[in-house]
Structure 1
């Protein structure tokens, strides 16, 4: 995970669709300024509507924590989104909270600066890291992979109507194919079920790893679209559990919302790999889009 943490100015590298050498890795790279302090550049390529995607930001913070902590893989990452991030320079400050034989815990904050120099905290994260390769192989579960139409029968951004207002840059970096049963919102006929399902990958073919799973859980359109509410759905809090290292190949993502009340909704996500394993789970609280 620390392969994209830099300690000096990097040499120019050609884009490769491999873990450690892809657009995702370059755009989530952080540079260690001093122990616990990292410089970063938030790329405009991961924006949607008018904000930097929360999963992309979480992956960047996860990369910094992976360098600061003695264990390599995120197990549980809880993030509170305090203010909207914008493309440009940022500083990440990390703190080691506890280290043990099998787990270590740390916290991190991403900060940006206003034009007058005022420091503004964008996100604060508390995370526990471990070694996924050291986990026992026993699995006892009642969870089942989501029922999603074959990928060739699913729909991508190019199949939809006019682009959403504002930035849609992130869609160029992702290969998302949505299940036809969850795209009614795109033709003005939302199902009302609060579900979103689809196949997920990075557009350059880079396989998934534990760090990119932090992006995956927040990359599909919000379930509020299928509830008939379109517009920005800002994340308030997002907790992600990484369960195992994903196998190569496309991922399947299923997200559900059971309760929208008081202007807020929850989204529960499951991510399954090509070997039919549940590799990540998440729950987030988000503000519902405003109704017209």
Structure 2
């Protein structure tokens, strides 16, 4: 069975050009006037995994967004900087014509082969988000039609927002700069490490909970994939702690159905104008 996400992040190796891959960016991942940054990260991630078939999983990816991407043809270029032992490090670019859309440094490996050893007596401080049951949360499909039209990206998911943190959608932002939700793909595709690259940028920007509802373009995003996720719903929490210079950071945690932290990210984005 084929899934929409896999079709939309597909890349084709360019014959005779090692590390070069052609892609077709889908309009279904648009948010406002640009293609979603997490989707672009997954496209780049797929190109890297094609270049490094023995180390197909993202572990750390740091991407700088240079210009807004549009639906249509794109070229992903991957250069291996070091490949040895359990991980490899690459540089990668995604371009459309002469315009570089994003540039990234990434470390890839095989998550299944990495040790899960932890120090004796150590207890993790991070805990899964305290979310109500899925059927008690607010579906993203309840967004006004004009929002769904402006952001077809939302239709790719089944998102269920924590009703205690949904004031931003009702014109009553809390001012705390936080939101959390359940998430899965609408066609039933189970999560994997490449999907996690998209998931860290799947929720609306937390600037909306600060009362700023405009476009919040990402300048830089760093994602850490900690483990391959188990099947089932993902739980995602976004929060910011500091706003200055017209920018805010957005920290994300992604937990799988077994209460395991499977991905983290931090991005720096511009604060929408008031």
Q: TM-score range by the shorter chain?
A: over 0.9
**Which region of structure 1 is more displaced relative to structure 2, 216-225 or 144-153?**
144-153
CA distance in 1, matches of 2:160, 2:148: 21
The answer on whether the counterparts of 1:49 and 1:165 sit within 8 Å (CA) in structure 2 is: no
Residues 163 and 150 (structure 1), Cα distance of their counterparts in 2 relative to 1, 3 Å cut:
farther
- Whether the aligned pair in 1 keeps the contact of 2:140 and 2:161 (CA below 8 Å) is no
2:164, 2:66 → 1: CA distance?
34
CA contact (8 A) 2:220 2:268 kept: yes
What is the alpha-carbon distance in structure 2 between the residues aligned to residue 136 and residue 99 of structure 1? 19
Aligned to 1:274, the other structure's residue is in SS state coil
Counterpart in 2 of 1:135? 114
**Please, which of 215, 221, 244 is the counterpart of residue 238 of structure 1?**
221
- Shift, 1:186, TM fit: 1.1
List structure 1 runs of 4+ shifted beyond 6 angstroms: none
CA RMSD of aligned residues (A): 1.2
Partner SS, residue 150 of structure 2: coil
SS of alignment partner, residue 163 of structure 1 = helix
The alpha-carbon distance between structure 1 residues 27 and 165, as it changes in their structure 2 partners (threshold 3 A), is closer
Q: CA deviation at 1:187?
A: 0.9
Residue 284 of structure 1 corresponds to which residue in structure 2? Answer: 267
Cα distance between partner residues in 1 of 2:209 and 2:64: 25
Unpaired segments of 5 or more residues in structure 1? 1-15, 114-118
1:1-292 → structure 2 map (5 Å cutoff): 16=1, 21-33=2-14, 34-69=17-52, 70-113=54-97, 119-139=98-118, 140=122, 141-164=124-147, 167-291=150-274
Give yes or no for contact 1:50–1:166 (8 Å, CA) kept in 2: no
Distance across 1 between alignment mates of 2:116 and 2:148? 46
- Is the Cα–Cα contact under 8 Å of residues 65 and 107 in structure 1 kept in the other structure? no
Unaligned runs of 5+ in 2: none
TM-score, normalization by structure 1: 0.89
Cα shift readout 1:165-201 (whole Å, capped 9, x = no counterpart): 8622111111111111221111110111100100011
Deviations 1:107-155 (A, max 9, x none): 1101112xxxxx0100001000111111223344221111112111111
Count residues in correspondence.
Answer: 267
